[in-house]
Amino acid sequence: MVLVYINSTTGLSKAALETVTYGKKLSGDVTVITNGSASNEQLAQLGEYGASKVLVDRSVDGEDPQQLARLVAAVADQVSASTVIFSHDIYGKAVAPRLSVRMKAGLVAGAIAVPEADGSVKVNVFSGKAVGYVKVASSKQIISLLPNSIQPEKTGSVCSVEETNGLAGASAINVLETKKPEGNIPLPEAELVVSAGRGLKGPENWGMIEELATALGAATACSRPVADIGWRPHHEHVGQTGVAIRPNLYIAVGISGAIQHLAGVNGSKVIVVVNTDTEAPFFKAADYGVVGDAFDVIPKLTEAVKRFKATQH
Protein backbone atom coordinates (compact mmCIF):
# COMPACT_ATOMS: atom_id res chain seq x y z
CA MET A 1 0.00 0.00 0.00
CA VAL A 2 1.30 3.40 -1.05
CA LEU A 3 0.40 6.73 0.56
CA VAL A 4 1.02 9.94 -1.42
CA TYR A 5 1.07 13.37 0.21
CA ILE A 6 0.22 16.29 -2.03
CA ASN A 7 -0.31 19.94 -1.24
CA SER A 8 -3.46 21.14 -3.00
CA THR A 9 -3.81 24.59 -1.47
CA THR A 10 -3.40 26.18 -4.89
CA GLY A 11 -5.15 23.44 -6.87
CA LEU A 12 -3.59 20.36 -8.42
CA SER A 13 -0.04 21.16 -9.48
CA LYS A 14 1.83 19.16 -12.07
CA ALA A 15 4.15 18.00 -9.28
CA ALA A 16 1.10 16.56 -7.48
CA LEU A 17 0.00 14.64 -10.56
CA GLU A 18 3.56 13.33 -11.00
CA THR A 19 3.68 11.98 -7.43
CA VAL A 20 0.31 10.22 -7.78
CA THR A 21 1.43 8.73 -11.11
CA TYR A 22 4.63 7.58 -9.41
CA GLY A 23 2.63 5.97 -6.60
CA LYS A 24 0.54 4.11 -9.15
CA LYS A 25 3.70 2.70 -10.74
CA LEU A 26 4.67 1.26 -7.36
CA SER A 27 1.34 -0.15 -6.22
CA GLY A 28 -2.21 -0.84 -7.36
CA ASP A 29 -3.46 0.59 -4.10
CA VAL A 30 -2.72 4.31 -3.73
CA THR A 31 -4.23 6.56 -1.07
CA VAL A 32 -3.67 10.30 -1.31
CA ILE A 33 -3.60 12.52 1.77
CA THR A 34 -3.87 16.25 1.23
CA ASN A 35 -4.78 19.44 3.05
CA GLY A 36 -6.19 22.72 1.92
CA SER A 37 -9.05 24.02 -0.09
CA ALA A 38 -9.16 22.24 -3.46
CA SER A 39 -12.75 21.17 -4.25
CA ASN A 40 -13.89 17.56 -3.96
CA GLU A 41 -14.43 17.49 -7.75
CA GLN A 42 -10.82 18.56 -8.30
CA LEU A 43 -9.48 16.03 -5.82
CA ALA A 44 -11.57 13.22 -7.32
CA GLN A 45 -9.61 13.72 -10.56
CA LEU A 46 -6.55 12.30 -8.82
CA GLY A 47 -8.25 8.95 -9.44
CA GLU A 48 -7.48 9.40 -13.12
CA TYR A 49 -3.76 9.40 -12.26
CA GLY A 50 -3.99 6.29 -10.10
CA ALA A 51 -5.40 7.21 -6.69
CA SER A 52 -7.88 4.72 -5.23
CA LYS A 53 -9.00 7.15 -2.56
CA VAL A 54 -8.29 10.73 -1.48
CA LEU A 55 -8.35 11.86 2.14
CA VAL A 56 -8.43 15.59 2.80
CA ASP A 57 -7.97 17.52 6.03
CA ARG A 58 -9.40 20.98 5.38
CA SER A 59 -8.49 22.28 8.84
CA VAL A 60 -4.75 22.15 8.10
CA ASP A 61 -3.25 25.07 6.15
CA GLY A 62 -0.05 23.19 5.34
CA GLU A 63 2.30 25.87 6.67
CA ASP A 64 3.72 23.82 9.55
CA PRO A 65 5.70 20.74 8.55
CA GLN A 66 5.35 19.34 12.08
CA GLN A 67 1.57 19.33 11.73
CA LEU A 68 1.79 17.73 8.31
CA ALA A 69 4.19 15.06 9.60
CA ARG A 70 1.70 14.15 12.34
CA LEU A 71 -1.14 14.02 9.83
CA VAL A 72 0.71 11.91 7.26
CA ALA A 73 2.11 9.55 9.92
CA ALA A 74 -1.35 8.96 11.39
CA VAL A 75 -2.86 8.25 7.97
CA ALA A 76 0.08 6.01 7.00
CA ASP A 77 -0.70 4.03 10.12
CA GLN A 78 -4.44 3.86 9.39
CA VAL A 79 -3.97 2.57 5.84
CA SER A 80 -0.88 0.43 6.70
CA ALA A 81 1.28 2.21 4.12
CA SER A 82 4.70 0.69 3.52
CA THR A 83 5.76 3.50 1.17
CA VAL A 84 5.00 7.22 1.47
CA ILE A 85 5.64 9.50 -1.49
CA PHE A 86 6.19 13.27 -1.60
CA SER A 87 7.25 15.71 -4.25
CA HIS A 88 10.81 16.91 -3.51
CA ASP A 89 9.50 20.48 -3.42
CA ILE A 90 9.29 22.84 -0.44
CA TYR A 91 6.73 20.55 1.22
CA GLY A 92 8.64 17.35 0.62
CA LYS A 93 11.87 18.96 1.83
CA ALA A 94 10.21 20.11 5.05
CA VAL A 95 7.88 17.22 5.87
CA ALA A 96 9.53 14.04 4.53
CA PRO A 97 12.59 14.25 6.83
CA ARG A 98 10.33 14.74 9.85
CA LEU A 99 8.22 11.79 8.80
CA SER A 100 11.33 9.67 8.31
CA VAL A 101 12.18 10.07 11.99
CA ARG A 102 8.56 9.73 13.12
CA MET A 103 8.01 6.47 11.20
CA LYS A 104 11.63 5.35 11.40
CA ALA A 105 11.45 4.89 7.64
CA GLY A 106 14.44 5.50 5.37
CA LEU A 107 14.08 8.53 3.12
CA VAL A 108 15.16 8.60 -0.52
CA ALA A 109 15.33 12.33 -1.16
CA GLY A 110 15.04 13.59 -4.73
CA ALA A 111 14.27 10.37 -6.66
CA ILE A 112 14.50 10.82 -10.43
CA ALA A 113 13.09 7.44 -11.53
CA VAL A 114 10.95 4.53 -10.38
CA PRO A 115 12.81 1.95 -8.24
CA GLU A 116 15.18 -0.46 -9.98
CA ALA A 117 14.65 -4.23 -9.93
CA ASP A 118 16.78 -4.50 -6.74
CA GLY A 119 14.61 -1.90 -5.00
CA SER A 120 17.23 0.86 -5.11
CA VAL A 121 16.17 4.30 -6.29
CA LYS A 122 18.12 6.65 -8.55
CA VAL A 123 18.88 10.15 -7.26
CA ASN A 124 21.11 13.02 -8.35
CA VAL A 125 24.22 13.49 -6.24
CA PHE A 126 27.03 16.04 -6.29
CA SER A 127 24.55 18.64 -7.53
CA GLY A 128 23.78 16.69 -10.66
CA LYS A 129 27.37 15.86 -11.57
CA ALA A 130 26.65 12.17 -10.86
CA VAL A 131 23.82 9.83 -9.95
CA GLY A 132 23.57 7.43 -7.03
CA TYR A 133 21.32 4.49 -6.22
CA VAL A 134 19.87 4.52 -2.70
CA LYS A 135 18.62 1.46 -0.90
CA VAL A 136 16.40 1.67 2.15
CA ALA A 137 17.14 -0.73 5.02
CA SER A 138 14.00 -0.16 7.10
CA SER A 139 10.74 -2.02 6.45
CA LYS A 140 8.96 1.24 5.58
CA GLN A 141 10.29 3.77 3.11
CA ILE A 142 9.69 7.37 2.06
CA ILE A 143 10.49 8.62 -1.42
CA SER A 144 10.46 12.28 -2.47
CA LEU A 145 10.27 12.69 -6.23
CA LEU A 146 12.21 15.47 -7.96
CA PRO A 147 9.73 17.57 -9.99
CA ASN A 148 9.81 16.97 -13.77
CA SER A 149 11.35 13.49 -13.42
CA ILE A 150 8.34 11.60 -14.75
CA GLN A 151 5.27 12.69 -16.69
CA PRO A 152 1.74 12.50 -15.23
CA GLU A 153 -0.20 9.63 -16.82
CA LYS A 154 -3.94 9.12 -16.84
CA THR A 155 -4.71 5.47 -16.20
CA GLY A 156 -8.04 5.41 -14.35
CA SER A 157 -11.17 7.31 -13.50
CA VAL A 158 -12.32 9.62 -10.71
CA CYS A 159 -12.10 8.24 -7.17
CA SER A 160 -13.80 8.85 -3.85
CA VAL A 161 -12.85 11.77 -1.60
CA GLU A 162 -13.24 11.60 2.17
CA GLU A 163 -12.74 14.25 4.81
CA THR A 164 -10.52 13.58 7.79
CA ASN A 165 -9.54 15.73 10.75
CA GLY A 166 -8.21 15.76 14.27
CA LEU A 167 -4.96 13.97 13.36
CA ALA A 168 -2.64 16.94 12.88
CA GLY A 169 -2.55 18.78 16.22
CA ALA A 170 -1.86 22.51 16.48
CA SER A 171 0.38 24.60 14.21
CA ALA A 172 3.52 26.17 15.71
CA ILE A 173 4.08 28.46 12.74
CA ASN A 174 2.28 31.76 12.51
CA VAL A 175 2.11 33.14 8.96
CA LEU A 176 2.28 36.94 8.88
CA GLU A 177 2.43 37.55 5.16
CA THR A 178 2.61 35.70 1.84
CA LYS A 179 4.20 37.46 -1.13
CA LYS A 180 3.61 35.88 -4.52
CA PRO A 181 4.42 37.94 -7.58
CA GLU A 182 1.55 37.48 -10.07
CA GLY A 183 2.04 35.45 -13.19
CA ASN A 184 5.36 34.00 -12.10
CA ILE A 185 6.07 30.42 -13.09
CA PRO A 186 7.85 28.79 -10.11
CA LEU A 187 11.33 27.89 -11.30
CA PRO A 188 11.66 24.34 -9.91
CA GLU A 189 8.43 23.29 -11.63
CA ALA A 190 8.96 25.11 -14.92
CA GLU A 191 9.23 22.98 -18.06
CA LEU A 192 10.86 25.74 -20.07
CA VAL A 193 13.45 28.13 -18.66
CA VAL A 194 15.21 31.13 -20.18
CA SER A 195 18.31 32.07 -18.20
CA ALA A 196 20.83 34.85 -18.59
CA GLY A 197 24.20 35.77 -17.15
CA ARG A 198 26.76 38.51 -16.89
CA GLY A 199 26.95 38.64 -20.69
CA LEU A 200 23.81 40.81 -20.57
CA LYS A 201 25.85 43.70 -19.13
CA GLY A 202 23.14 45.17 -16.87
CA PRO A 203 19.69 44.69 -15.32
CA GLU A 204 18.14 47.13 -17.82
CA ASN A 205 18.73 44.56 -20.58
CA TRP A 206 16.49 41.82 -19.12
CA GLY A 207 13.47 43.05 -21.07
CA MET A 208 14.40 40.88 -24.06
CA ILE A 209 14.88 37.84 -21.81
CA GLU A 210 11.44 38.35 -20.30
CA GLU A 211 9.91 38.80 -23.75
CA LEU A 212 11.41 35.53 -24.95
CA ALA A 213 10.22 33.81 -21.77
CA THR A 214 6.71 35.19 -22.23
CA ALA A 215 6.60 34.12 -25.88
CA LEU A 216 7.59 30.57 -24.86
CA GLY A 217 5.60 30.43 -21.62
CA ALA A 218 8.90 29.91 -19.80
CA ALA A 219 10.23 30.88 -16.37
CA THR A 220 13.31 33.11 -16.05
CA ALA A 221 16.55 32.26 -14.25
CA CYS A 222 20.05 33.68 -13.93
CA SER A 223 23.64 32.87 -13.04
CA ARG A 224 24.97 33.50 -9.55
CA PRO A 225 26.95 36.73 -10.10
CA VAL A 226 23.85 38.27 -11.62
CA ALA A 227 21.85 37.57 -8.45
CA ASP A 228 24.78 38.56 -6.22
CA ILE A 229 25.10 42.02 -7.76
CA GLY A 230 21.35 42.47 -7.49
CA TRP A 231 20.49 42.51 -11.21
CA ARG A 232 17.96 39.74 -10.59
CA PRO A 233 16.20 38.37 -7.48
CA HIS A 234 17.94 35.61 -5.49
CA HIS A 235 15.29 33.00 -6.19
CA GLU A 236 16.29 33.05 -9.87
CA HIS A 237 19.87 31.97 -9.12
CA VAL A 238 20.41 28.47 -10.50
CA GLY A 239 23.42 26.24 -10.03
CA GLN A 240 25.23 24.32 -7.39
CA THR A 241 24.60 26.94 -4.71
CA GLY A 242 21.25 28.09 -6.06
CA VAL A 243 18.22 26.22 -7.31
CA ALA A 244 18.79 22.93 -9.13
CA ILE A 245 16.41 22.54 -12.03
CA ARG A 246 15.73 19.96 -14.74
CA PRO A 247 13.35 21.54 -17.23
CA ASN A 248 12.65 20.13 -20.68
CA LEU A 249 14.33 23.15 -22.24
CA TYR A 250 17.02 25.42 -20.76
CA ILE A 251 18.11 28.40 -22.84
CA ALA A 252 21.31 29.95 -21.50
CA VAL A 253 22.11 33.44 -22.74
CA GLY A 254 25.45 35.11 -21.96
CA ILE A 255 26.40 32.49 -19.38
CA SER A 256 29.89 31.02 -19.62
CA GLY A 257 28.98 27.58 -18.27
CA ALA A 258 31.16 27.40 -15.15
CA ILE A 259 31.15 23.99 -13.45
CA GLN A 260 29.09 25.34 -10.52
CA HIS A 261 26.47 26.68 -12.90
CA LEU A 262 26.29 23.46 -14.94
CA ALA A 263 25.83 21.44 -11.75
CA GLY A 264 22.40 22.94 -11.25
CA VAL A 265 21.13 22.71 -14.81
CA ASN A 266 22.74 19.70 -16.48
CA GLY A 267 19.69 17.56 -15.75
CA SER A 268 17.79 19.65 -18.33
CA LYS A 269 16.59 17.53 -21.22
CA VAL A 270 17.61 20.01 -23.93
CA ILE A 271 20.08 22.88 -23.53
CA VAL A 272 20.42 25.81 -25.93
CA VAL A 273 23.41 28.12 -25.49
CA VAL A 274 23.71 31.62 -26.92
CA ASN A 275 27.18 33.12 -26.44
CA THR A 276 29.54 35.43 -28.33
CA ASP A 277 32.51 33.27 -27.43
CA THR A 278 32.95 30.07 -29.48
CA GLU A 279 35.16 28.77 -26.67
CA ALA A 280 32.56 29.20 -23.90
CA PRO A 281 32.57 25.95 -21.87
CA PHE A 282 28.76 25.86 -21.93
CA PHE A 283 28.80 24.72 -25.59
CA LYS A 284 30.23 21.38 -24.43
CA ALA A 285 27.08 20.76 -22.38
CA ALA A 286 24.70 22.09 -25.03
CA ASP A 287 22.43 20.35 -27.54
CA TYR A 288 22.05 23.44 -29.71
CA GLY A 289 24.48 26.33 -29.85
CA VAL A 290 24.32 29.80 -31.33
CA VAL A 291 27.52 31.82 -31.54
CA GLY A 292 26.30 35.37 -31.58
CA ASP A 293 25.51 38.54 -29.71
CA ALA A 294 22.53 38.12 -27.41
CA PHE A 295 21.34 41.62 -28.22
CA ASP A 296 20.99 40.56 -31.83
CA VAL A 297 20.02 36.87 -31.43
CA ILE A 298 17.42 37.01 -28.66
CA PRO A 299 14.99 39.47 -30.30
CA LYS A 300 15.23 37.36 -33.49
CA LEU A 301 14.58 34.18 -31.54
CA THR A 302 11.57 35.78 -29.85
CA GLU A 303 10.15 36.76 -33.25
CA ALA A 304 10.73 33.22 -34.54
CA VAL A 305 8.98 31.76 -31.50
CA LYS A 306 6.02 34.10 -32.04
CA ARG A 307 5.81 33.08 -35.72
CA PHE A 308 5.88 29.43 -34.70
CA LYS A 309 3.21 29.90 -32.02
CA ALA A 310 0.99 31.65 -34.57
CA THR A 311 1.08 28.56 -36.80
CA GLN A 312 0.09 26.33 -33.89
CA HIS A 313 -3.42 27.74 -33.49
Partner 1 sequence: MNILVCISKAPDTTSKIAFTNNSTQFDENGVQFIVNPYDEWYALVRALELKETIGGNVTIVTVGTATDEAIIRKALAIGADEAVRIDADPKDAYFVAMQVASYAKAKGFDLVMTGKETINYNGSQVGGMIAEAMDLPFVSLATKLDANGTKLTLEREIVGGVQVVEVQTPAVISCAKGMAEQRIPNMRGIMAARTKPLTVIPAEAVEDLTSYVTYSMPNAKSSVKMIDPSNMDELVALLHNEAKVI
Q: Which of partner 1, ligand FAD, none sits in contact with 261, Cβ below 5 to 8 A by type?
A: ligand FAD
Nearest to 219 by CA among 241, 238, 242: 238
Q: Any contact of residue 241 with partner 1 (CB under 8 A)?
A: yes
Of the candidate spans 23-31, 108-116, 206-214, 290-298, the one that interacts with ligand FAD by CB under 6 A turns out to be 290-298
CB neighbour list of residue 158: distance below 8 Å, 6 or more residues apart: 44, 45, 47, 48
Site string for partner 1, 21-60 (x = CB under 8 A): ----------------------------------------
The residue among 198 and 235 lying less far from ligand FAD, judged by its C-beta, is: 198
Which residues partner with 53 through β-bridges?
A: 31, 160
Which of ligand FAD, partner 1, none interacts with 266 (beta carbon under 5 to 8 A by kind)?
Answer: partner 1
Distance CA 237, CA 65 (A): 25
The DSSP annotation for 186-205 comes to PGGG-SEEEEE-GGG-SGGG
| DSSP helix/strand/coil, 108 | strand
The C-alpha atoms of residue 274 and residue 255 are separated, in whole angstroms, by: 8
Alpha-carbon distance values, 273 to 95, 187, 189, 297 (Å): 37, 19, 21, 11
Q: Which residue, 26 or 294, is less far from ligand FAD as judged by CB?
A: 294
Q: Least separation, in Å, of the C-beta of 276 and ligand FAD?
A: 4
Which position among 53, 198, 235, 306 is part of the footprint of ligand FAD (CB under 6 A)?
198
CB 68 within 8 A of CB 40: no
228 near ligand FAD (CB under 6 A): no
Cβ distance to partner 1 smaller for residue 106 or 156: 106
34 vs 52, beta carbon nearer partner 1 = 34
> Is 109 one of the binding residues for partner 1 (CB under 8 A)?
yes
Cα angle 151, 154, 156; round to 5: 150
Is residue 289 at the binding interface for ligand FAD, with CB under 6 A as the rule? no
Let me know: does 198 contact 223? Beta carbons within 8 Å.
Answer: yes
* Minimum CB distance to ligand FAD smaller for 141 or for 220: 220
Rounded to whole angstroms, the Cα distance separating 262 from 155 reads 36
Site for partner 1 in 157-216 (CB under 8 A): 172-181, 184-186, 188-189, 191-192, 216
The verdict on 261 binding ligand FAD (CB under 6 A) reads yes
Binding site for ligand FAD (CB under 6 A): 197-199, 223-226, 239-242, 254-256, 258, 260-261, 264, 274-277, 280, 293-295
